[in-house]
């Protein structure tokens, strides 16, 4: 049996919380009030609507596909687990990037599978030919990676993604948890490829992380085969009702997303002036920045002294979520103090 990877969930936290890539703002009060009133009308003694039809219909309209091409889940994590569970068994190999989202390791470990990783540096161009060659050589049963990448914020362009989908006979799953923060999506390609699947979430751009609401989108024929494997009643009634309301206010919520992107671009500009031989923060297409620091313990101590929590990785890297303007200024102040040696 392969070694299980334990996923490290976020602990109870206080202060400036920039370690989980949550939205920097809550749902507006008027939307929260509308959700509360709708939840009060739920028949709590009844099971949820199994297919979450209204929710899938609302999301399908948002991304421009048919309702039959969308499957709703308890977060996009559940949809990733569903795909891995169907295609990765003892000895099978999943192909992903390094670094990438650690939940992939968790689900593959549950099914005694193995992971083949394609190393990609945070500051190097993506070599699509090398990626395809390595995956073919390894005889992988599924290809899965995040785009934009978590944790680096890098993207792989659509033309290269299409080449990857065409190069493999197995399922190719693109995890677009941060898709609203980038410029391209592969959702408009699912009708072309039966082996292409895209996962999405309302947790990031829609400020809906507390409700756990995600989606799997694919070719209509492929999705029809998948539905039989979905866990019954997997999306609770409260999330279904609230998710429909959130999607009905998509213009307002996506305008908040645009403000986060503006903050990100300003942070990238400011951080570029702070980069030196010990500290590098990279440009990003997501709602976070990825960095590398040869004196990371000193940097983390500075952040902690100011009650700023960021994501710390085992090597010399870290990740900082884009926060509200005052939170971002606090981060920049800590980075400036680091550079000044204080």
Q: What domains appear along the chain, each with residue ranges and CATH number?
A: 16-25+251-340 (3.90.1150.10), 29-248 (3.40.640.10)
Tokens 């039966």 belong to 194
Q: Is 40 exposed, middle or buried (0-12, 13-18, 19+ CB in 10 A)?
A: exposed
Task: Quick: pLDDT tens for 162-219.
Answer: 999 999 999 999 999 999 999 999 999 999 999 999 999 999 999 999 999 999 999 9
Helix H segments across the chain?
Answer: 29-39, 53-63, 76-87, 103-110, 128-137, 158-167, 220-226, 237-248, 250-272, 296-305, 325-340
Strands 93-98 and 142-146: parallel
Residue 2: per-residue pLDDT? 47
Contact 290, 152 (CB under 8 A): yes
Residue 1: per-residue pLDDT? 40
pLDDT(280) > 70: yes
Of the candidates 82, 199, 88, the one whose C-alpha atom is nearest the C-alpha of residue 139 is 88
Mean pLDDT, rounded, for 42-52: 98
Q: What is the CA radius of gyration of the chain?
A: 20
Task: Quick: pLDDT tens for 64-77.
Answer: 999 999 999 999 99
Residue 24: per-residue pLDDT? 93
Q: Please give the Cα distance from 62 to 190 (Å, whole number).
A: 15
Task: Quick: pLDDT tens for 236-245.
Answer: 999 999 999 9
Q: Please give the Cα distance from 164 to 148 (Å, whole number).
A: 16
The DSSP code for 316 is: S
Q: Is 111 exposed, middle or buried (0-12, 13-18, 19+ CB in 10 A)?
A: middle
Task: Quick: pLDDT tens for 188-202.
Answer: 999 999 999 999 999
Residue 112: per-residue pLDDT? 96
Residue 111 sits at φ, ψ, to 5 deg, of -105, 15
Mean pLDDT, rounded, for 254-270: 97
DSSP, collapsed to helix, strand or coil, labels residue 185 as coil
Q: Please give the Cα distance from 189 to 60 (Å, whole number).
A: 14
Tokens 């999306």 belong to 235
Q: Please give the Cα distance from 170 to 142 (Å, whole number).
A: 5
What's the mean per-residue pLDDT of the chain?
95
């Amino acid at each position: 049996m392969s070694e299980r990877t334990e996923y490290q969930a976020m602990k109870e936290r206080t202060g400036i919380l920039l370690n989980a890539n949550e939205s920097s703002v809550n749902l507006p009060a008027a939307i929260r009030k509308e959700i509360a009133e709708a939840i009060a009308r739920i028949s709590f003694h009844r099971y949820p609507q199994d297919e979450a039809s209204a929710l899938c219909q609302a999301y399908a309209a948002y991304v421009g596909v048919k309702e039959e091409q969308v499957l709703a889940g308890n977060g996009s994590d559940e949809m990733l687990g569903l795909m891995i569970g169907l295609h990765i068994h003892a000895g099978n190999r999943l192909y992903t990037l390094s670094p990438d989202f650690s939940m992939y390791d968790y689900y593959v470990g549950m099914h005694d599978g193995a992971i083949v990783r394609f190393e990609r540096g945070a500051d190097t161009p993506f070599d699509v030919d090398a990626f395809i060659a390595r995956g073919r050589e390894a005889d992988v049963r599924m290809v899965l990676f995040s785009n934009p990448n978590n944790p680096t914020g890098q993207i792989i362009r659509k033309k290269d993604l299409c080449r990857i989908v065409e190069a493999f006979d197995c399922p190719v799953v693109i995890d677009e948890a941060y898709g609203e923060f980038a410029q391209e999506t592969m959702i408009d390609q699912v009708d072309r490829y039966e082996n292409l699947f895209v996962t999405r979430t309302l947790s990031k751009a829609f400020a809906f992380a507390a409700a756990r609401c995600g989606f799997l989108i694919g070719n209509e024929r492929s999705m029809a085969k998948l539905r039989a494997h979905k866990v019954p009643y997997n999306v609770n009634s409260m999330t279904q009702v609230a998710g429909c309301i959130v999607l009905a206010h998509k213009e307002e919520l996506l305008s908040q997303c645009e403000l986060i992107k503006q903050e990100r671009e300003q942070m990238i500009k400011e951080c570029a002036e702070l980069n030196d031989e010990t500290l590098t923060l990279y440009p990003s297409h997501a709602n976070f920045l990825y960095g590398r620091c040869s004196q990371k313990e000193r940097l983390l101590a500075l952040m902690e002294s100011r009650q700023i929590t960021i994501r710390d990785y085992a090597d010399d890297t870290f990740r900082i979520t884009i926060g509200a303007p005052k939170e971002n200024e606090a981060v920049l102040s800590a980075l400036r103090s680091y550079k000044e040696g204080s």
